[in-house]
Structures are given as structure tokens and as C-alpha cells.
Structure 1
Amino acid sequence: MLFKSSEIVEFAVAIERNGEAFYKSLLGKVKSGQAHHVLQYLAAAEQQHIKDFQSLRDRLGDYQAPQQYDGEYEAYLTFLIESNVFGKAPEVEKLVAQIQTDQDAIDLAIRFEKESILFFNELLRLVSESDKEPVKELIRQEQEHILKLVELRKIIENA
């Protein structure tokens, strides 16, 4: 399976859509007002990321990353796509249904952000130099989300 860069970005859009739905579904699971506030912020951020990735997708051509042997990069991306639970809405629903505490919700949100960063770092190999900065900014924002979630986890643990 050969991937065009625009197809990879489309998968990133799907991750962000599922991320937005994920954060909105977590709102009904958390009890803390602070957790509720942070999750609303993150849902809105994912909505903006969808727009940003759609804009990036519209600018991309059919660039393919260099590889050491035929199929190397495609195999790696296939693994990332298949193993990214947040690329599959039914899997997200199952995980959300298992949440018992605010801590569970925060831990799952951190996992989402980490998996997103891993995938988005791979996008950097698929975009032109002029498109690298927007992707780096999205990665930076995802890292900021992790920091917000870690801070929230500390607050809830100490409450």
C-alpha cells in the first residue's frame, strides 16, 4: 500500500475528529469542574487542528518519503495507522466507556495526545520545507495539551 502525503494528512484529520469527539464524550465522564474546563478547551483545540490539517492537505502534492528499501516507509505508516486507537471511532467509544474516574479520563487523554504527536512527527517527513512549520506548530500544541493534562492530573491527585 503506497501512501500519498495528502492521504496521510487525511488520516491526521480523522485522528483530530475522533479527538474532538473523544474530549466531548469525556465531558460527561468527569466530575471535576477543572477537568471539565480543560476538556472543553481541548475539544475546541482539536476542532482548530482539523481546519489546520485540512488546509495543509489542500496544499500537498504526492510527495513520498525516501526509504532504504521498497515498502519500508509504507510498512511503518501502516503500523502507525493500524495501532493508533484514536484513528478508529469505535475503539475510542470502548475506551471511554471503561472510564471510572477523572484520573482514568486524564490518563486516556494523555495517551491520545502522545499517539497524535508520534503520528504527526511522521508527517514532517511527508511535507515540503515550507509546510514543516505548520506541522511543527501543531505538534507543539499537542505537547502543550499534554502539559495541561499533567497539571490537571496533579491537581486532581492532590484534591
Structure 2
Amino acid sequence: MTFKHLEEKEAVEIASLIEKNGFAFYSILADKTEDKKIKAVFKRLAKDEKKHMKILENKYYPEAGFGEQVTDEEIAIEDYVSRSADPKIFTEEIDVEKLVRAVDSIKKAVILAIHTERYSAEYFEGLAKKASTKEGTKMYVELADEEREHVKALEDILKSL
């Protein structure tokens, strides 16, 4: 698939960034969380974000000019780097460790995660409406649905706190 407009390429780059940084965010929270049930949810969400990155890269990376597909090893390296550097999370450039320190309770972390997942779902819904192919529309709708499932899982945690 080739991009007809620069906006399409930028939209895919932002979508990939959302997933990559969501992966870093949830991985760090999982490491810092003591509660086993909440830790398991954060690990599952990190795994889902990694899966979403793969979906996007398999469909778009060569056409978007991102180069070769990202390997699991590269993701592990980026995850390590994100724990000791200033990575971007979601669509803004911030220090993830600083963010996690600022979120001084599990409740605040879950509330932040709910907001970012809602934003992600809305972003993917917008991309679905603008997609130039049925296949693209379907992919973005599925990603939006999965992000909404993340919201439900996080809301369940919030209720239990």
C-alpha cells in the first residue's frame, strides 16, 4: 500500500508512536506495581500494544519509509532504553520514568491509562473514517475496539481500588 497523501503517512507514524509508547508506559508500570492482579493487567496491556505495533508495521512500515520491520529484540532494546532515557510516550515527548514517579499512586496511573486508551480509541476511529481502503478501515476499527477493551479492563481495576 502506498500513501496518497503525506497526512496518511503522518497518521500511521502517530499511530505507531502511540502503540510503541503505550508499550513502554505499561511495561514500566508493570515493573513498578506490587499488586499481582494489577501487574498482570499492565503486562497484558503492554503485550497488546506490542501486538498493535506489529499489525501497523506489517501493513505500513515499508510504505511509510520506516525501514525494516521492528524485531522483538529491537523492541526489547527500545524498552530497556526507554527505562533509562527520555522516550516519547503516546504523542508527546516526555520522560516516562519521570511520568511514572509523578503518578504517585496506582489509582492515578490507572486514571492516566484510561484517558490515554480513550484517546487512542478515538484516534483510531478517526483514522478508520479517513482510510482509503476497506482493509485499512477494518484494521483501524479493530484497533479502536481493542483500545476500548483496554479501557474496560482499566475501569475494572479502578473500581477495585
TM range (shorter): 0.7 to 0.9
Aligned-residue sequence identity (percent) comes to 31
Aligned twin of 2:119 = 115
Instruction: Tell me, in whole angstroms, the C-alpha distance in 1 between the residues paired with 2:153 and 2:98.
Output: 24
Structure 2 residue 48 is matched with structure 1 residue 9: no
Q: 1:126 to 1:6 in 2, by over 3 A?
A: farther
Residues 33 and 42 of structure 1: CA distance in aligned 2, closer, same or farther (over 3 Å): same
Aligned residues: 133
| Aligned-CA RMSD value | 2.3
Matched, 1:146 2:147: no
Q: Which residue of 2 aligns with 1:97?
A: 101
Amino acid at match of 2:147: E
The aligned residue for residue 31 of structure 1 is: 34
| Cα deviation digits, residues 12-60 of structure 1 (max 9, x gap) | 1011000000001112332211110000000000000001112332597
Q: Secondary structure at the match of 2:32?
A: coil
> In structure 2, which of residues 129, 132, 135 is the aligned counterpart of residue 128 of structure 1?
132
Contact preservation (8 Å) 1:29, 1:101: no
Query: Normalising to structure 1: TM-score of the pair?
Result: 0.74
State which drifts further: 89-98 or 112-121: 89-98
Larger Rg: 1
The letter of the residue matching 1:11 is I
Distance apart, 1:87 and its partner CA:
1.4
Runs (4+) off by over 3 Å: 58-61, 91-94
Partner of 2:71: none
TM superposition shift of 1:147? 0.3
Give yes or no for contact 1:113–1:142 (8 Å, CA) kept in 2.
yes
Gap runs ≥5 in structure 2 = 65-88
Deviation at residue 3 of structure 1 after TM alignment: 3.7
Q: Is the 8 A contact 1:16 1:46 kept in 2?
A: yes
